[in-house]
Amino acid sequence: MNEIIEQEKDFGFARVYAIELLFKEKPVVDRELLYSKIEQYMGKTDRPQNEKSGPLAVWEPYEQHEKGEMLHFFHLNYMVKYAEGELPAQTTLTGINVGPISDYEAALQQSWHWNEAGQTLQECSHALLLVDMMASGLEPKKRLELHTNVLRAIVETVPCAAIYFRESNKLVEPSVFLAAIDEGEMLYGALNIRFYNVEGTGSERREGLMDSIGLAALGIPDVQCHFYDMDTNEVADCLTNFAYYLFNQGDIITDGETIGFTEEMRWRCEHQYALAVPHRIVIDLDPGEGNYAGHQGGPKE
C-alpha cells in the first residue's frame, strides 16, 4: 500500500480532492434545498432501491462542528469496487478558517481569467471545504463529475464569493463557473493553464513555459510546452485542447507520437516530470525546431 501511495505522489495524483468555497459573510446552508439539488444533479441510480431509498444518504453530527456546518454525503450511484466489495464514494462539507492572502499568492499570479480575484479574497472571512473520501478509485471523469455536481448544488444553495480548486491552484468566480459547467466545460475549475516568462538563461530570444495543472491530480498527465517566440494565446489554446483530449480519451499517447489541431501542426509528445512545481507527470510538447526550448528524453527531475 505504501508503495502505491508513493507512486501516486510521484505521478501527482490526489487521493483526496479538495475545493474551498469562500464567503464574505458566514454561510447558512439550507439543508433540504441542498439535498434536493444534489439528488437532482446526480441523476437516477440503477441500483435496486425501496420507496425510502435514493441516490444520496447524509450523515450529520449530533453536535455542530466548531466552525459551523459539517455534512457527510454517501453517493449511492457512485460505487467504488474494492477487494472486499463495493462502497459508495463520499463527500464532506465542513467549515474551515480562511487562510492568509499569501496562501493564494501563486493562484493570484495566474488569475488571468479573473482580474478581481485578489480584491474579492481580501473581503472573504468565512470558508467551507468540500473534500471526497473513498472516491480515488473512480474513473477520472466520474470523480470530477461527482465533485462538479456537488459543488454546483452547494453554490446554488449558498452563494459564495469565490471558489478555490486546490488541486489546480485556481481561483474561480462562482457565476462564471456555473455558466461554464452549463456549457459543458467540465474542466473549467479543475484545469489551470499557467504561463511563465523564463529569464536568466542567457538567451536573447523570448522564452516561455506554459503548462496545465489539475489533470495529474485526477490520474491523467498534465501538459507542458517550453518554447521560444510563440504566440502565448495560440499555445494556451493548444494546451487546453490537448488537455480536454486527454481528459476525454485517457492517456493513450505514446512517446514520440505527434499531435496536431491543424494540417501544419505536428508537435512531438513525451512523458516527463514537470518543469514547474508541483512535482507531477506531464506530457511535454515539442513544437518543432526553432521553437522548442526544452529537452525530451524521458522523465527528468
Tens-place pLDDT, residues 14-37: 999 999 999 999 999 998 899 889
**pLDDT above 70 (res 40):** yes
Task: For residue 98, give the C-alpha cell.
Answer: 480562511
* Assigned domain for 102 exists: yes
83 vs 80: CA distance, rounded Å:
10
Peptide bond before 278: cis, by omega within 30 degrees of 0? yes
123, 134 contact by CB (below 8 A): no
Confidence of residue 204 (pLDDT cuts 50, 70, 90): confident
> Are 217 and 151 contained in the same domain?
no
Whether residue 117 sits in one domain with residue 221: no
CA 273 to CA 222: how far, in whole Å? 10
- Give the pLDDT band of residue 213 (cuts 50, 70, 90): very high
- 11 and 31 fall within a common domain: yes
User: In terms of domains, do 150 and 211 share one?
Assistant: no
78 in the same domain as 17 = yes
Is residue 294 in some structural domain?
A: no
User: Are 103 and 123 members of one domain?
Assistant: yes
Q: Examine the domain organization and report whether 35 and 163 are in the same domain.
A: yes
Range with lowest mean pLDDT among 39-53, 105-119, 175-189: 39-53
Over 50: is that where the pLDDT of 58 sits? yes
Last residue of a domain, one of 129, 147, 182: 182
C-alpha span between 291 and 203 (Å, rounded): 13
Q: Does some domain include residue 187? A: no
pTM equals 0.89
User: Same domain for 154 and 7?
Assistant: yes
Same domain, 148 and 15: yes
> Which grid coordinates belong to 168?
489546480
Please return the burial class of 224, using the count of CB atoms within 10 Å of its CB with bins 0-12, 13-18 and 19+: buried
42: Cβ–Cβ under 8 A, 6 or more apart, which residues? 55, 56, 75, 77, 78, 149
Higher local confidence (pLDDT), 107 or 70: 107
Q: How buried is 291 (Cβ within 10 angstroms: 0-12 exposed, 13-18 middle, 19+ buried)? A: middle
Q: What residues make up the domain containing 217?
A: 192-286
pLDDT above 80: residue 97? yes
